[in-house]
Amino acid sequence: MRFSSENIARNVFFLCTIAGAVVISSILLFMIALGLPLFKESSFFSVWTGPWDPYQGLYGILPMIIGTLWIALPATVLALPLSLGTAFVITILGGSRLRKILGVLVRFMTGIPTVVYGFVGIFLLVPLIREGFGGAGMCVLAASIVLAILISPTMILFFSDSLTSVNPVDVRAAKALGADRVQRLLYVILPKAFGGMTSGFILAMGRALGDTLIALMLAGNAIRAPRGVLEPARTLTAHIALVKAADFNSLEFRSIFACGIALYLFTTTAVVAVRFMDYKRSVVQ
């Protein structure tokens, strides 16, 4: 009985789950193990907060952290109104035919490869910025704009999901009291959907922080904290992609593992925060 097909299958299923869990933890362990020499050489904190100056033996990743924020935050700030407006139209304001078309459009956008966005960004947007604002064109602004378009569909889908999942009883009650579509949206649906929309916003921001190709192709990749949107910047992700394995044991190379750990922590925090918020919401309801 112990070797029945039932038991074997159950164990196979279980092993697969464990394998997935092991992989997730080993990703972090691998990076900590390989980044360790860097933390030993310079102090633990100076890796995160120090400047980047290989000639002085300084391998702080602060410029890359700042660069990441300079690109990801404007991108989310740009994507927010874009997604909010479109989600309103998709869920409430638009006619049924338009809603369908927009739904298909947004889903189509999720399928556009990142590298294709980057390619069009280089040959369409960068020359425009170069002519309009001067400079090299490869800058924070270019990357943020393209990144905003890239993360909008994620945000729109999450927003419209939360907006449509509001209890219809509440909506109908408001309708019976004479509230028109916009009033129902603003005073009934939006407050109820706010929690779910915040989750979507955070997850989209996580996507912006973790994207590699857009920043790599459009942001210019200078290792220097940018002071304006027209300056080039290098993100943590682009730094990982750019440091090529000249010497595996060099500290410069080890710095990419610090970047990996930082990204892992950023995105994990976002995921845990969203989970926590979802949990609290489910308790309240």
Instruction: List binders of other proteins among 91-120 (CB under 8 A).
Output: 93-94, 102, 104-105, 107-120
Cβ neighbors of 41 (< 8 A, separation 6 or more) are 251
Smallest gap from Cβ 55 to other proteins, in A, equals 25
Residue choice 39, 88, 226, 233 for contact with other proteins (CB under 8 A) = 88
Which residue, 22 or 173, is less far from other proteins as judged by CB? 22
Bridge partner list, 53:
58
| 100 vs 284: CA distance, rounded Å | 33
12 contributes a contact to other proteins by CB under 8 A: yes
- C-alpha 123/C-alpha 12 separation (Å) is 50
Q: Which of 60, 70, 86, 189 binds other proteins (CB under 8 A)?
A: 86
Give the footprint of other proteins on residues 164-223 (CB under 8 A). Answer: 182-183, 185-186, 203, 206-207, 209-213, 216-217
Least CB distance to other proteins at residue 252 (A): 15
Give residues 25-64 in contact with other proteins (rule: CB under 8 A): 26-27, 30-31, 34
